[in-house]
Chain A
Amino acid sequence: MTTISLEDLEARQIDPTKPLLEVDRLVMHYHIKAGDVSAVEDVSFTVHQGEAVGLVGESGCGKTSIALSLLRLLPSNAEYVSGEIRLNGEDLLWLSPEEMRQRRWKDIAMVFQGAMNSWNPVYRVGDQIRETLDTHYRGVMDYAEQRTHMEKLFTAVGLSPAMLDRYPHEFSGGMRQRAVIAMALACSPELIIADEPTTALDVIVQDQILKELKRIQAELGMSIIYISHDIAVIAEVTDSLGVMYAGKLVEYGPTATVFSRPRHPYAYLLLRSTPSITGPRRQLAPLEGEPPDLLHPPTGCRFHPRCPFATEKCVTNEPPLEDIGGGHRVACWHHDEVPALEGALQR
């Protein structure tokens, strides 16, 4: 793939020390007939300007709930119990639905899981992108300008501008995902939330899409939150990484640090149970049991029923997410014992 310059699209000046999005002690529950599901529990993290942050975890750990929370796209049975979501210092949770609607796509855009379902099959792709431009640039761009802008977007993501006049079914899976990315870029957002952006794609196409996203992010000075269950994908594209378990953020830090020195037992086992095609064919770590039912989450540390280090303290007291140096935060009473697992697993 030849690299297409993005200079036609406006690049943003970034200051990597400046926070863009601050999620502060967010608590979000779903009300269902049987009770309250504590889907997101006391989650805090910060995305800086131009930073790529990854959230990993297994199904039901709350990672998609966080994405939907940030966009305020939660179903009606969801409730923000407490916490703040600040974008450039402004708390999104206090905005009116109309104000929030103005923020979506313009300030925060999204790339959803399953590009197949992101498009309306009966409209041309170009017309669907135009709709977004109509909402946010009404009276700013005329029809011809919109067209030029969309052509630039398509070129930027490696699609031929002629594809704008095609219907979604005429696109292959990879092309559709590229078009979704073009749509996300339409209003030059500061933040893109990519929820499993490449999950349904073949490896070679996945590789192309991830490279494209990474390049666009760097050139336009955007921030991205990647959400995935695939740790290998996250390892390659992010600067910081958060590991979630049962609605809690259990470990957070620079990606390289979390990968080389995971200190939460769950994060450790998750990383060590991912098969790889490189390196020696090491024994994969087993992770016994299944994730808890969030209607009745375990007391204390939510991981204690499956944890090889669990003690009395873990059952009764909830560990805080503590900084253990260099921005590496871990929520575990026994985080300094985790390196011992390495030896145990080698045997």
Chain B
Amino acid sequence: MTASRSDMAAGAARNGQPLIEIKDLEMKFPISRGLFRAPTEFVHAVDGINFEIAPGESLGLVGESGCGKSTTGRMLVKLMEPTGGSIMFRDREYERDVATVKGSGIKDFRRRVQMIFQDPYESMNPRRTIFDTISEPLAVQKVGTVPERETRVLDLLRLVGLTPPENFLFRYPHELSGGQRQRVAVARALVMNPSFVVADEPTSMLDVSIRISIMELMTKLARELGVSYLYITHDLAVARYMCDRIAVMYLGKIVEIGPTEEILARPQHPYTKALLSAVPVPDPSIKRMPVEIKGGISKAINPPPECRFIERCPFAAEVCETNPHPPLEPRGDRHFVACHRADQIEAWEAERVAAAGIAAG
């Protein structure tokens, strides 16, 4: 399934160019020191990140809370104005750096991108019917007449599996279950035929069984409609099922990015390793490797130039203290890691595996 999707993505790519290409994207929030004092401290929520997403591809953005993944998602749909960097967006005849678009340009851009939020109970106006909710983008963009919009909404309700659609049209959010609401949120995101959707933890509020059906729905729609996703989640197991590639964020930086199965099988950044080994496994017969990092995530307030992970890293050495935060460097097929000591860690790991093999044998 993953393979066929990326094939299609490659075929649909406009001259092989990515749909979205972000460069040195940055978001710094000032910390207020009082009304008449200029802020001297900034939270570096997103600190110079780069990635691209091909048409039809889904990229997972994972990390702990406070790592900047939601801020990144919000900047990509222009819910937040980045303080630096560029977001190149290419879709059919449309091509521009949306980081700088303003005013009516934003409205034009939003025909092409949409967002799905985490909480289906809070992302909908309780006083508007399902029809109003889903057709709102059409009304804002002045697309079609009311009967045409109704037909479109009915089609979408059918597409997201709310059948018979007529029964849902004039109901209110409180009459629907969490899973049904999230289906409405998916329908609303698709009503403008976007080529890119940012999904911020769309299934984390849902029960296991409902979660699977929403995940399946989103994958199916990506395949059929060629939508690209930025899928923001803290749950690596969910990312595994939703994403072609995964980017791991830590305190505003991307520390590792690569194809999903490659990242899960051969994580190379110490943070990715720790994150993966902390995920509980739904099988009591499997014993996990112990997590080796210490402490919790801190805040990126005026961070020092060196590697962001240095305080918690079990492999930190002099090279990490004297050099600035490492850039993402290629290590394997489409796999990039930002770590000064990636080579040593790999060698050390191989040694440990060999030693364990001898001990076990």
Q: Which A residues lie at the B interface, using CB under 8 A?
A: 1, 58-59, 172, 174, 202-208, 210, 229-233, 235-236, 255-256, 259-260, 269-271, 273-279, 281, 284-287, 290
A277 to B213 CA separation, bound complex (whole angstroms):
19
B216 touching A286, Cβ below 8 Å: yes
Q: Which residues of A contact B236 (CB under 8 A)?
A: 203, 277
Residues of B within 8 A of A59 (CB): 207
State the Cβ distance, B89 to closest chain A Cβ, in Å.
31
Closest CB pairs A-B (n = 5): A287-B209, A232-B280, A58-B207, A275-B237, A207-B278
Residue of B whose beta carbon sits closest to that of A208: B291
Note all chain A residues with C-beta closer than 8 A to B208. 58, 229, 231, 270, 273-274, 287
Chain A: which residue is nearest B277 at the CB level?
A: A207
Min CB distance A313 to B, Å, is 24
In the assembled complex, the CB of B260 is this many whole angstroms from the nearest CB of chain A, namely: 9
Contact A236 B284 (CB under 8 A): yes
Does A232 contact B293, Cβ atoms closer than 8 Å? no
Residues of B within 8 A of A (CB): 64-65, 177, 179, 207-213, 215-216, 234-238, 240-241, 261, 264, 274-276, 278-286, 288, 291, 293-294, 296-297
**Which A residues touch B241, using CB under 8 A?**
275, 281, 284
Which of A205, A235, A277 is B237 in contact with, Cβ under 8 Å?
A277
CA distance A36 to B208 in the complex (A): 27
A228 to B297 alpha-carbon distance, docked (Å): 25
Which B residues are CB-close (under 8 A) to A231?
208, 282
Q: How far is the CB of A118 from chain B (nearest CB, A)?
A: 19
Query: Contact at B284–A235, with CB atoms within 8 Å?
Result: yes
Question: Using Cβ atoms and an 8 Å threshold, which residues of chain A touch B284?
Answer: 235-236, 255-256, 259
CB distance from B299 to the nearest CB of A (A): 10
CA distance A275 to B209 in the complex (A): 11
Q: Closest CB-CB distance, A296 to chain B, in whole Å? A: 16
Cα distance A345–B292 in the bound complex, in angstroms? 37
CB atoms of A276 and B64 under 8 A apart: no
Shortest Cβ gap from A281 to chain B (Å)? 7
A309 to chain B, nearest CB (A): 17
Nearest CB in chain A to that of B66: its residue: A202
Q: Which residues of B contact A210 (CB under 8 A)?
A: 280
Contact indicator A172/B276 (Cβ below 8 Å): no
A204-B207 contact given A233-B280, A286-B212, CB 8 Å threshold: no
Q: How far is the CA of A278 from the CA of B234 in the complex (A)?
A: 16
Complex contact B278–A203 (CB within 8 A): yes
Taking a contact as CB atoms under 8 Å apart, the answer to whether B294 and A277 are in contact is no
- Name 18 A/B residue pairs within 8 A (Cβ), A-sorted: A202-B65, A203-B279, A204-B296, A206-B280, A233-B280, A255-B284, A270-B208, A270-B209, A273-B209, A274-B208, A275-B240, A276-B237, A277-B276, A278-B286, A281-B261, A284-B212, A286-B213, A287-B209
